[in-house]
Structure 1
Amino acid sequence: MGSNWLFEHIAPFYDAATRFLDPAPLRDYLDPPTGGRLLDLGGGTGRVAFAFREMAGLTIVADAAWGMLQVARQRPKLIPVQALAERLPFADGAFDRIVIVDALHHFIDAAAAIQEAARVLRPGGRLVIEEPDIRRWPVKGIALLERLIGLRSRFLSGERIRELMETAGLSAQESVDRRSFRLWVVGHKEENAR
């Protein structure tokens, strides 16, 4: 069973349940260009994209769960697009910045999703992935709970995410916050990349 069934039902309550997750640490990693194009991939209700909307000229929230996107539609300056992360309906090099926050482990195929993100990222662009750090015991408990309730979640280590980014043609670097049990992997697409 996929994750969409759950997200369709919790969409109206999702933001309240995740309000303790502050998107501010992403700002330094993302470094969004003023007036650029931002894609929040697996962005659900647009909670994260909304925090960066003033820094981008165009902000798109792409998610497979229509119920989550219905919440995103209510937020000004966000454009919701229903799409699978593994098959994005965007042109090559369409975005200056792409962010995936707490969603990679829900994607059907993380490697294919990262390949697609790299494809739609412009040369010189940046992909930032934030995930719970599966190497930490509390996150292992969350992973087990998600499996027990029927989610297909597959948490990856920062090292594995970095490897997938490098396979997709991005240079990548990992950063870990031991206090919050979160990790960030930042991928850069070279200026001369196709």
Structure 2
Amino acid sequence: MSRLHGRGDVRFFDRIAALYDLVMPSADADALQRGLSFARRPVERVLDVAGGTGRATRALARNGLEPVVVDFSRGMLSRARADGRDTVHADAGTLPFCDDSVDAIIVVDALHHMPDPDGAIREAARVVSPGGVVVVQEFGPDTLRGRGLVLAERAIGFDSQFWTPDELCAVFENAGLTARLVSSGFEYVVAGRVESAEASHE
């Protein structure tokens, strides 16, 4: 299927919500924590954007963080709520949060499904306070497993966009974030810190 109504592959995820957690592995909490540690402020208010059933939120909850799950798939959010997670129904490109209102945003295994990933990163940077971070876990298309995933998603009909770690770091930098590669491999993590106006001119 192709992306529908500017909302990515949401209809597919509505349909598979009940099975999603059975087939997806746990999120890498250690790599996400290393990304969050790139922040220059205490990280307390966190959004799990395109967080689906709350897979990444559950992983971070073991370390004491309780992100709010934000997703456009009502089916996925219903699973997150049933698991006791706080949820918000929203599009990653138009987050219903004020400027500088959270300490961090995580996006796990989801950016490649978004219809406007560059816009989603810019929107995340708007919402995160100076000193906070945007942390994205993605799949490397230049790895053996990554090449297989690219072919599989095309066969399903997804209009997915994948980036190498260097390419995703460039997307972050273009959004005004200071980027750092946190971990590499098939599933890699990039963190981008929101700098203050003063720091950006240093």
Q: Note if contact 1:50-1:75 (Cα within 8 Å) is conserved in structure 2.
A: no
Task: Identify the residue that residue 161 of structure 2 maps to in structure 1.
Answer: 154
Q: Note if contact 1:42-1:61 (Cα within 8 Å) is conserved in structure 2.
A: yes
Amino acid at match of 2:20: Y
Task: Identify the residue that residue 55 of structure 1 maps to in structure 2.
Answer: 64
Amino acid at match of 2:136: I
* Alignment of 1:26 onto 2:35: no
Amino acid at match of 1:162: C
* Alignment of 1:65 onto 2:73: yes
State the identity %: 36
1:79, distance to aligned residue in structure 2 (A): 1.6
Closer, same or farther in 2 for the Cα pair 1:35/1:127, shift >3 Å?
A: closer
Distance in 2, matches of 1:164 and 1:45, equals: 26
Closer, same or farther in 2 for the Cα pair 1:73/1:157, shift >3 Å?
A: same
Amino acid at match of 2:166: E
Give the 5 Å matches for 1:33-44. Answer: 36-44=44-52
* Alignment of 1:139 onto 2:120: no
Distance in 2, matches of 1:61 and 1:161, equals: 23
* Alignment of 1:99 onto 2:106: yes
Out of 9, 13, 19, the residue aligned to residue 7 of structure 1 is 13
Q: Structure 1 residues 31-40 or 150-159, which shifts more?
A: 31-40
More RCO (CA 8 Å, sep 6+) = 2
Amino acid at match of 1:146: E
1:17, distance to aligned residue in structure 2 (A): 0.8
Could you say which structure has the higher strand fraction?
A: 1
Q: Note if contact 2:141-2:164 (Cα within 8 Å) is conserved in structure 1.
A: yes
Unaligned runs of at least 5 residues, structure 1: none
1:95, distance to aligned residue in structure 2 (A): 1.1
Distance in 1, matches of 2:159 and 2:92, equals: 15
Distance in 1, matches of 2:26 and 2:56, equals: 12
RMSD: 2.1
Amino acid at match of 1:157: T
1:23, distance to aligned residue in structure 2 (A): 2.9
Distance in 2, matches of 1:155 and 1:4, equals: 18
* Alignment of 1:166 onto 2:168: no
1:103, distance to aligned residue in structure 2 (A): 0.5
Provide TM-score, normalisation by structure 2.
0.86
Distance in 2, matches of 1:189 and 1:37, equals: 15
Unaligned runs of at least 5 residues, structure 2: 4-8
CA-to-aligned-CA distance 1:159-185 (integer Å, 9 cap, x gap): 12111111111100124433xx12111
Provide TM-score, normalisation by structure 1.
0.89
CA-to-aligned-CA distance 1:115-170 (integer Å, 9 cap, x gap): 00000011110111110111112211111111111112111121121111111111
* Alignment of 1:120 onto 2:127: yes
Amino acid at match of 2:142: R
Q: Note if contact 1:38-1:95 (Cα within 8 Å) is conserved in structure 2.
A: yes
Distance in 1, matches of 2:26 and 2:78, equals: 22
